Structure 1
Amino acid sequence: MTVARKELVDTHSPGFYHCTTRCVRRAFLCGINEESGQDYSHRKDWIERRINELSTLFSVDIYAYAVMSNHYHIVLYLAPLAPLQLTDDEVAERWLAIYPSKTDLRRTLRKQAILNSPKTLALYRQRLGSLSWFMSRLNEPLAKLSNQEDDCNGKFWQSRYTSQALLDEGAVFSCMAYVDLNPVRAKITQKLEESHHTSIKQRLNDITSDKSLEETLLPVSGSVKHITQNISNRDYINLVEWAGKALVHPNKASIPKDTQAVLERLNLQTNHWLTQLHSLESRYCRVIGPVELIRQRAKKLYRRCLQGISSAKLLYN
């Protein structure tokens, strides 16, 4: 049984989510079209820039992303009530940045109208904490821009987007690694530093010293500035690097002790964790996490069960 997105996404509590959007017919509309030979790779830059831009306007933090030729992934932290702390002027400014005006005069008039309407301010404040509005403002302009470039009409994205709730830190870091390793699994590259249009590439570019490696893992962009507690930049990069090597060369890349300690700290089973990185998205339905938390979420949604119980028994200790 499917789960409605409005039931899956908690509008009152912060949480992590994995979102995916695919091009219509899974065509390579953001890569090189195999039939025509047309190169659309520049659209990956559009998506990457748009993700980072919108994360500073909506109440989200981006922890991982990967822009591929026919789809993209995002792991984000949503704080739906964070906009309540914004001033009225900040709400108006953010909304006008999301929906920019063509002239300064038009922008001034729109801002004044927003500030003079408590109902409009309350509506925009709510939308700034909405996952659906974030994904809509990411996908819709990119679809229009692409169709304009192709001089055509019709759907660019296959559907709105799919989402999975990540119920604990083990699920978050597993999903982050799954997303960051998309180019490696697709056999586009074997090196993290060559994994273009991914958050792991951005993290590696931001590392400037050994001190920054030891700092706590932070989002690559965002306005909430949520801080994780259990893993450093070095631990996460080493974890993804080892997983990438193990995916390319099975049974040859032995797990380092430090990396094994990280997985144990997250209550994850080493062997099954690596196996599930091949197909983490399809092994679960709308939630990823320990068995007990999946069962609690199912009960909250008035469901007998949710897909992923058997996989969770293997993933967690």
Structure 2
Amino acid sequence: MATKRSELIDSENASYYHLVSRCVRRAFLCGVDEESGHSYEHRREWIEKRIIELADIFSIEVYGYAVMHNHYHLVVYSDPLAPQKWTDEEVAERWLRLFPGKLDDPKFALQRELKLRALIEDHSKLAEYRIRLGSLSWLMRCINEPIAKRSNKEDFVKGHFWESRFKSQVLLDEAAALACMAYVDLNPVRAGITTNLENSEFTSIHKRLRSISQEKLNQSVAAIAGKVRNRTMTIPLKNYIELVDWTGKYIVHADKAKIPANISSTLEGLNLNKDSWLNELKCYRSNYYRAIGPIHLLLEYTNKIKQTWVKGISNIRSLYLPPG
């Protein structure tokens, strides 16, 4: 029996999450269908654009994503209680941006203003919308529903486009979030779609590289989209890009897997075991399940969701350096 989403996602505390949604049909979400020869590549842009749009509406920050042939990945920092601090007008404005209907047409500007004022006066609805704008379930719903409708219309079909439940994985510390980001960014390389980051289209690493500058390289890793708090990660963007780039080269050329000193230093700074990094990242999908983080945080999480066992304990011991 599946665990309730409310038990897996903390509705009161901010945290990093890895989210995955998969297409239910045999037909590709994106890419080229080998049987029909029809290309669905344009749908990748739909999804990427939708993710970036919603990051400015929901109380999230997007740190990583990859849009693949039949699924997509997201790494986000979510603060579910942030909307409680927003003004009534801000909540109403965000909700109208989320569900504009015909009101996004400039000729309906007056009607939009009237609707906005009506929402601001409706305190019970605003209370509900605050909860929804802090909800990852609502985020995924608002990504998936419009994509499903556009895809079904394009394919002249009806019915489910996505699996009914998206997968969620809590990332219990920054090291876990960075490891997950690297795993997500390297999806096209692992899938054999490309051999380098520069051609890994519709991924967060590709987006970062397109807007790179010397100034950004020396700054800490920041969100690609969205702003919940004035916060960044601890490691410089330069170090993260070097880590992902070298790991990608190892995936392509496994016989040249000697870890250079700068990569070792980055991993040790994150309290990650350099000797286990390659294997753990390569087997990330099968090695971990609901949560990733150091043992003490993983045990706290298991306690919280009232489970006596969670997959990945032995792999966590291998991934993280021993305490002390």
In the other structure, the counterpart of 1:263 is 267
Alignment partner of 2:147 out of 137, 142, 145: 142
Question: Over the residues paired in the alignment, what is the CA RMSD in angstroms?
Answer: 1.4
Give the paired residue count: 316
In the other structure, the counterpart of 1:50 is 50
1:116 aligns with 2:137: no
TM-score, with structure 2 as normaliser: 0.94
In the other structure, the counterpart of 1:32 is 32
1:227 aligns with 2:266: no
In the other structure, the counterpart of 1:67 is 67
Q: Deviations over 1:150-193 (max 9, x none)?
A: 11101111223100000111111100000000000001111101
Shift of 1:289: 1.2
The SS at the match of 2:62 is: strand
In the other structure, the counterpart of 1:293 is 297
The answer for unaligned runs of 5 or more in structure 2 is none
The SS at the match of 1:251 is: helix
The SS at the match of 2:102 is: coil
The SS at the match of 1:259 is: helix
Shift of 1:25: 4.1
Check whether the contact 1:57–1:223 (CA below 8 A) recurs between aligned residues.
no
* 2:200 aligned partner, one-letter code: S
* 2:192 aligned partner, one-letter code: K
CA distance in 2, matches of 1:146, 1:124: 27
In the other structure, the counterpart of 1:201 is 206
In the other structure, the counterpart of 2:246 is 242
CA distance in 1, matches of 2:94, 2:132: 11
In the other structure, the counterpart of 1:9 is 9
In the other structure, the counterpart of 1:166 is 171
Higher mean C-alpha deviation, range 58-67 or range 225-234: 225-234
In the other structure, the counterpart of 2:90 is 90
CA distance in 1, matches of 2:76, 2:26: 23
CA distance in 2, matches of 1:115, 1:303: 42
Check whether the contact 1:26–1:71 (CA below 8 A) recurs between aligned residues.
no
Moved over 3 A (4+): none
* 1:298 aligned partner, one-letter code: T
In the other structure, the counterpart of 1:282 is 286
* 2:168 aligned partner, one-letter code: S
In the other structure, the counterpart of 2:158 is 153
* Identity fraction in percent: 50
Shift of 1:48: 0.2
Shift of 1:296: 1.2
